Structure 1
Amino acid sequence: MREMAGGPRVLLKRLREMMAEALEPQERLDRIVREIAQNMVAEVCSLYILRSDSVLELYATEGLNPSAVHLAQLRLGQGLVGTIAASARALNLSDAQKHPAFAYLPETGEEIYHSFLGVPVLRAGRTLGVLVVQNRTKRHYREDEEEALETVAMVIAEMIATGDLARLNRAGIELDLRRAVTLSGLAFNDGVGLGHVVLHEPRIVVTNLFNEDSEEELERLEAALSSLRLSIDDMLSRREVAFEGEHRAVLEAYRMFANDRGWVRRLEEAVRNGLTAEAAVEKVQSDMRARMMHMTDPYLRERMSDLDDLANRLLRQLLGRGPDALAEALPKDAILVARNMGAAELLDYPRQKLRGLVLEDGAPTSHIVIVARAIGLPTVGEVKGAVSMAENGDAAIVDGEDGQVHLRPQSDIEAAYAEKVRFRARRQKIYRELRDKPSCTRDGQDVSLYMNAGLAVDLPQLAQSGAEGIGLFRTELQFMVASTFPRAEAQERLYREVLEAADGKPVTFRTIDIGGDKVLPYFKGPQQEENPALGWRAIRLTLDRPGLLRTQIRALLKAAGGRELRLMLPMVTEVSEIQQARAIIDREVRHLSRFAHLLPTELKIGAMIEVPSLLWQLDELMEAVDFVSVGSNDLFQFVTATDRGNTRIADRFDPLSVPFMRILRQIVRAGDAADTPVTLCGELAGRPVSAMALLGIGFRAISMAPASIGPVKAMLTELPLDKLQAVMDEALANHSAKTNIRQTLRQFAATHEIPL
């Protein structure tokens, strides 16, 4: 290939002129590929566009057989073109036919061409097609040639997105994915959301692509970067915590990226090649995302989300949109769709306008899912293809109960879900009416219903749910949504905010419980563990790293000055661990007392029963603590050797089985004998049927997600507890393998008209 005839600036100028002309769609495409081939001195230029049936169709070509247009097809992942579309990454080959993915299409006549350069046509991280140039000679294309083709592909993406090519579609074949689609994933948070799609990346669509004056655009870019840096510095300098304070480490990462010379240099090069400042940001962001999207390292993937968010903030600066523009542009019923996103980014969206969240990636324990669960947002994850199948403004339904996402649903599906939402709303009205009524069974026995929490965004639900307090505050969530260890001041601020929001109601703080499936990207253990759930985690980690525990204990003691403080130790295996932790706590109390700090009026220390070894130390345990809480999720997992994250065995054993119910009853009876309060925190507490089982074996305090309190309270107010206890005693005394407690409880509920 000879030197490019005019370079990217000349090519972009000619494309801009063609875009302004009144041309038929096919004629416009034909002229575009001809212009690209001439400018890049290529013998072939071809444009393939991705259809709704995952087929890449040849829409225009210069150099290949013209009769192959609209006939030549490759499936997503098939051939070189299909590989580019599936991976969203360019291919630069000196001899394409030797590549293992090469697929020969005889109708195109491309067998005489060897060198091959193909780039994905990307818009908002979504693949719309593939742009290819070819030559007979065997050579690698230069980096500037690849850059030029990527720039042109971005322009073509905008043309495709306008829908201008719809007139070229044959009957039954669509490009813009208007057909109804149902995607399956994993249910991460309960609930149903109806609304309209908002693609998270990018939040701003760039329409002005070509610049008239590169120097002027460079000045705009520098001004916007300066303004962005100042705004980040301003956010970091604020001391009024609450919202941004929890995510200071994320803002520190933004500041690092905003001052990165490599990133700025790439932006400047794109402007010099003929793009506007905002188009340059879009292009560099899309290029980096395409390069980084296949990385598996969780820390690097988090950094990719940070960089995406920073680029969007820069776009808002360039387009003169303030921080409130996001809230104004958002529909009132937004369904967020993203490959992944940072936890801080979700909190940027106004909660009152969100109806659901759809993630292509994510896991039940990922930061974003933890925050979504905290704010009560129906969430479905592991929805492959969600971003590429969705468009901004599409009608969508998120079913957080069965893990399904319906895009552009048909009217009958929409009507069925609308009725489901109305039914849920009627039930919620009943639960709200119960909110201020006492948690008392039909036969007059009091039961305490607490809520689980872990972030500041959980706190309003304490009053809304009618919970009697916070039975489990997971302090590690603050660590999991940050990019570095939260400082002592930030921890103290959060704990004080929690206690003030509780307004005298009891709050039980669990000391930091990290390790296992709770991975902090900035905290590396000594080595990768084969069985992390059984390894260096929770109290084992904090006793080995006492500085971490001391910092947290000091923050909790200072925050609780003048109030009661309840501390709970996670994953205790031996009573001696409680004694070691007490020594650290006592040391911090003495330290603060020496410096005349206001101390808690009362300090109560408890332990979580999650490890089976404690079942043979119950008497000693009850004497060593002020209260205990059963972590039913981990205890069941360890008792039955069942990994709840393993889909093959997660449903193999029932937590309401006779053996596990006997274990839980044994714990309750040991607490009663020692006059030590016993609570259960876990998924068992949050479902009416299993909560009924817990009450039947003696629990009188349970803690659950805020949304579960209404259904559980509706059940217990109609519950004749004395009769239930007799039924449970009989079931647990039965040695028959056929005993089905779940079925027994459902029959009992039906007989006594108890709502489940």
Structure 2
Amino acid sequence: MIPGRTHAAPMGILSRLRSVMQADATAETRLQLVTNIVATDLVAEVCSIYIMRAGEVLELFATKGLKTDAVHLTRLRVGEGIVGTIAASARPLNLSEAQSHPEFAYRPETGEELYHSMMGVPIVRASRVLGVMVIQNKTKRHYTDEEVETLQTVAMIISELVGGGELVNKEETLPTDGIAMLPLRLEGNTLNVGLGMGEAVLHEPRVVITQFVAEDPEAELERLRQALSEMHGALDDMLQSSESLDDEHRDILETYRMFAEDAGWLGRIREAIKSGLTAEAAVQKVHDDTEARMAQVQDPYLRERVNDLQDLANRLLQHLVGVEKIAPDDIPEHAVLIGTNMGPAELLDYDRTRLRALVLEEGSATSHVAIIARALDIPVIGQVKKALARIEAGDPIVVDGNNNQVFIRPGDDVLSAFKQNVKAREKQKAVYASLRDKPAVTKDGVEISLNVNAGLLVDLEHLKEVGADGVGLYRTEIPFMARSDIPGVESQVALYRKIMDEADGKPVVFRTLDAGGDKVLPYWDNHGEENPAMGWRAIRVTLDRPYLLRQQLRSLIRACGGRELNVMFPMVAEVSEFMQAKRLLDMEIERESIKGHRLPSRVNVGVMLEVPSLLFQMDCLLDQIDFLSVGSNDLFQFLFASDRGNPRISSRYDTLSPAVLNALSSVVKRCHEEDVVLSLCGEMGGRPLDAMALVGIGFRKLSMTASAVGPVKMMIRSLTLSALEDFMKLQVSKPKRSLRAILRQYAKDRDISV
């Protein structure tokens, strides 16, 4: 604060802004009046407003203090200069010496070389940066947090004016591709596989706020109280109507319901109302502030909490302004939802019988909405950039969740191909279904065990549907990630018992908690890691936090009720790590025995081979374990030092290379010699051609997604294994980058279904 200055109360500036926003004047005139008020109120010699134009260019639209000739002349690209940096990061900057900032960009037409201190905030509406507002002073002034917050409040109020289309045509900021009703293809990441077609329904629950400044703060607080009461009641009704969902899905909604009572969130809203904002403006301001603070956070758990809070803010705004809940008849019979992101409750607002697919600009495979969509069997594609800008309501949409593609306003050729694809898939599904009760046996009589990978109770339904032999991998971390606290022993016992009951006597291999790294649990502080896949995760976490592992092992032992228990430890890099984990298991077995609890009929202990270092410890390892399961996804990215999430190199190396097949052949040989059961779980086992190669080098047990069981079983029943084994022995010694083409030709020549 500069000497001799007295800071005006927020109510004062808000009252004057209300008069300006209601004035009978052009939008640009009102914008100029805003700069005058802010400059006066914050004792700034300059106040300027830059508006986003087409091509991500920020144009000076109004100023008090800079040269007036610079208006509409001065332009900065997003990321250029301090103004461009604020727009790129969507975060405020507070600088007592702006000209020494590395991003400072001098524009001689403005005359701003006279000014040293600078503070700027983004103008944000519906999570999009529409411009930047800055103040400047000649002295080296440090602006207070209160002044930053005041400028943010002003930016929020004028965001409706900026985004309303009076200053800049809204179409001008849209990309030119795909508008004018042209066909368009977008790509993203598959969060749930499947095909879907329907009309686009834009999920834009943002409420347009028309009144920002309150005349009676006490009345606004009462409006907030009533709206919160209505929202809590609506959420309780939703929980009651979702009884058909499994326990872990209800846990997600229960956690979401807890956020609606978060004291910190509600306290910030009440403080904003007391500063002079209406209830709805206060809700929006608190959300915008939270989102701006979290914009650069990479922690997936925290990002999902921001999404949940956004959903709650939208719900609260709807109750405040009287927006009614979406009616089932408001969406078409075949609907494809398009949104930036969604909370789990938002998805359940829609009539799920009409939803054919979901397309998100953000989203991850472990997000709550993806988990719920998976339970409802809705195809989902996430990370589809600028989907809302490129898609219009009512557009015909084709979603190919199997190939990460979204077709907007597809032509007749795409629609025809899609319909043929759907028919072919239905026909193929019928063929696979006819194989359900038939064994996966080669023509020369060798039986291959086909199992499914699972992570939710709903996945267990597929066991009978596809005729799998059991669950080769049950990922236990998903129920942990869906809760706001550690699931207790009784809760875990109930879940694991239900899993074994649903398996109906078929074996289930439980992988112990594989969390940490990029699969963050909310129970401990998470410190960002540059390479989370090779960081503090899986067994490294549970050995450092043994109470987590001991509680889980205790729960698994109790859940068995005299049945066989199969436990597998993930991400083991050294035999000593396995021995530590095995000791904890032995302790829990002894503990349960002393307490008189019924023990499993047999306990089989295994390791997931994901870290290449274990390849050089096989002699010691195989003496200690009952089974070994190759985790192909992680093993191969570590083997090639190739991040499978990096698009530049994700396809550079092939799983069907001599290097991979030779490494796996050595594992097969050693497990056979030591009579240790060997399996492979991962994407490789679910691809018929890759599975053919695995069977050819000696694998007799594979685990895959349920949808892959049919195609792999058909492949197995169409091949003669003895001939394939001889062929593979010749091929793995060749110095080739990949054997894929050779194996495909081999299959084609012998009518093997791949």
Fold match, TM over 0.5?
yes
Kindly indicate whether residue 632 of structure 2 is the aligned counterpart of residue 632 of structure 1: yes
Q: Work out the CA distance in 1 between the residues paired with 2:220 and 2:368.
A: 37
Q: Work out the CA distance in 2 between the residues paired with 1:97 and 1:613.
A: 53
The equivalent of 1:58 in structure 2 is: 60
1:213 to 200, 209, 216: 216
Moved more, 84-93 or 311-320: 311-320
Q: Work out the CA distance in 2 between the residues paired with 1:344 and 1:245.
A: 11
Residue 318 and residue 529 in structure 1: after superposition, are their counterparts in 2 closer, same or farther (change >3 A)?
Answer: closer
The equivalent of 1:80 in structure 2 is: 82
AA aligned opposite 2:223: R
Deviation at 1:486? 2.4
Residue 141 and residue 571 in structure 1: after superposition, are their counterparts in 2 closer, same or farther (change >3 A)?
Answer: closer
AA aligned opposite 2:745: Q
Q: Work out the CA distance in 2 between the residues paired with 1:138 and 1:614.
A: 60
AA aligned opposite 2:87: A
Q: Is the 8 A contact 2:201 2:338 kept in 1?
A: yes
Residue 655 of structure 1 aligns to a residue whose secondary structure is: coil
TM-score, scaled to structure 2: 0.79
The equivalent of 2:181 in structure 1 is: none
Q: Is the 8 A contact 2:203 2:337 kept in 1?
A: no
Kindly indicate whether residue 15 of structure 2 is the aligned counterpart of residue 13 of structure 1: no
Q: How many residues align?
A: 732
Q: Work out the CA distance in 1 between the residues paired with 2:130 and 2:532.
A: 41
Per-residue CA shift, 1:443-485, capped at 9, x if unaligned? 2654332221123454444455554432100113333444443
Per-residue CA shift, 1:501-525, capped at 9, x if unaligned? 3334332112223456655454469
Per-residue CA shift, 1:504-549, capped at 9, x if unaligned? 4332112223456655454469x99999877876456656655433
Structure 1's unaligned 5+ residue stretches are: none
Residue 422 and residue 45 in structure 1: after superposition, are their counterparts in 2 closer, same or farther (change >3 A)?
Answer: farther
Kindly indicate whether residue 409 of structure 2 is the aligned counterpart of residue 428 of structure 1: no
The equivalent of 1:90 in structure 2 is: 92
Q: Is the 8 A contact 1:116 1:135 kept in 2?
A: yes
Q: Work out the CA distance in 2 between the residues paired with 1:138 and 1:674.
A: 75
Q: Is the 8 A contact 1:197 1:390 kept in 2?
A: no
Per-residue CA shift, 1:246-282, capped at 9, x if unaligned? 4499459737x7223xx54542343244432122011
**How does 1:381-530 map onto structure 2 within 5 Å?**
381=383, 386=386, 393=393, 411=409, 418=415, 421-422=418-419, 424-433=421-430, 434-437=432-435, 438-440=438-440, 443=443, 445-463=446-464, 466-514=467-515, 518-520=519-521, 522-523=523-524
Q: Work out the CA distance in 2 between the residues paired with 1:588 and 1:326.
A: 52
Q: Work out the CA distance in 2 between the residues paired with 1:754 and 1:520.
A: 44
Q: Work out the CA distance in 1 between the residues paired with 2:528 and 2:155.
A: 42
Q: Is the 8 A contact 2:239 2:254 kept in 1?
A: no
Residue 185 and residue 244 in structure 1: after superposition, are their counterparts in 2 closer, same or farther (change >3 A)?
Answer: closer
Q: Is the 8 A contact 1:372 1:379 kept in 2?
A: no
Q: Work out the CA distance in 2 between the residues paired with 1:617 and 1:43.
A: 71
Q: Work out the CA distance in 1 between the residues paired with 2:47 and 2:579.
A: 74
1:333 to 328, 331, 336: 336
Q: Work out the CA distance in 1 between the residues paired with 2:187 and 2:279.
A: 39
AA aligned opposite 2:122: P
2:263 to 259, 264, 285: 259
Residue 431 and residue 376 in structure 1: after superposition, are their counterparts in 2 closer, same or farther (change >3 A)?
Answer: farther
Residue 350 and residue 513 in structure 1: after superposition, are their counterparts in 2 closer, same or farther (change >3 A)?
Answer: farther
**How does 1:153-232 map onto structure 2 within 5 Å?**
153-165=155-167, 174-177=172-175, 179-180=177-178, 196=200, 204-225=207-228
Deviation at 1:685? 0.5
Residue 351 and residue 611 in structure 1: after superposition, are their counterparts in 2 closer, same or farther (change >3 A)?
Answer: farther
Residue 50 and residue 538 in structure 1: after superposition, are their counterparts in 2 closer, same or farther (change >3 A)?
Answer: closer
Identity over aligned residues, as a percent? 46
Q: Is the 8 A contact 2:714 2:753 kept in 1?
A: yes
Q: Is the 8 A contact 2:15 2:213 kept in 1?
A: no
Moved more, 370-379 or 123-132: 370-379
Residue 493 of structure 2 aligns to a residue whose secondary structure is: helix
Residue 158 of structure 1 aligns to a residue whose secondary structure is: helix
Kindly indicate whether residue 743 of structure 2 is the aligned counterpart of residue 745 of structure 1: yes
Residue 57 and residue 521 in structure 1: after superposition, are their counterparts in 2 closer, same or farther (change >3 A)?
Answer: same
**How does 1:669-748 map onto structure 2 within 5 Å?**
669=669, 671=671, 676-732=676-732, 735-738=733-736, 740-748=738-746
Residue 710 and residue 9 in structure 1: after superposition, are their counterparts in 2 closer, same or farther (change >3 A)?
Answer: same
AA aligned opposite 1:494: L
Kindly indicate whether residue 357 of structure 2 is the aligned counterpart of residue 355 of structure 1: yes
Q: Is the 8 A contact 1:47 1:131 kept in 2?
A: yes
Q: Work out the CA distance in 2 between the residues paired with 1:630 and 1:213.
A: 66
Q: Work out the CA distance in 2 between the residues paired with 1:297 and 1:578.
A: 29
Deviation at 1:709? 3.1
Moved more, 313-322 or 156-165: 313-322
Q: Is the 8 A contact 1:343 1:481 kept in 2?
A: no
Deviation at 1:703? 0.8
Q: Work out the CA distance in 2 between the residues paired with 1:583 and 1:560.
A: 19
TM-score, scaled to structure 1: 0.79
Residue 566 and residue 2 in structure 1: after superposition, are their counterparts in 2 closer, same or farther (change >3 A)?
Answer: closer
Q: Is the 8 A contact 1:51 1:176 kept in 2?
A: no
Deviation at 1:292? 3.2
Q: Is the 8 A contact 2:124 2:155 kept in 1?
A: yes
Residue 348 and residue 197 in structure 1: after superposition, are their counterparts in 2 closer, same or farther (change >3 A)?
Answer: closer
Q: Work out the CA distance in 1 between the residues paired with 2:686 and 2:329.
A: 36
Per-residue CA shift, 1:631-683, capped at 9, x if unaligned? 23344455556555666765554322234323433444555566654321122
Deviation at 1:567? 2.3
Q: Is the 8 A contact 1:358 1:386 kept in 2?
A: no
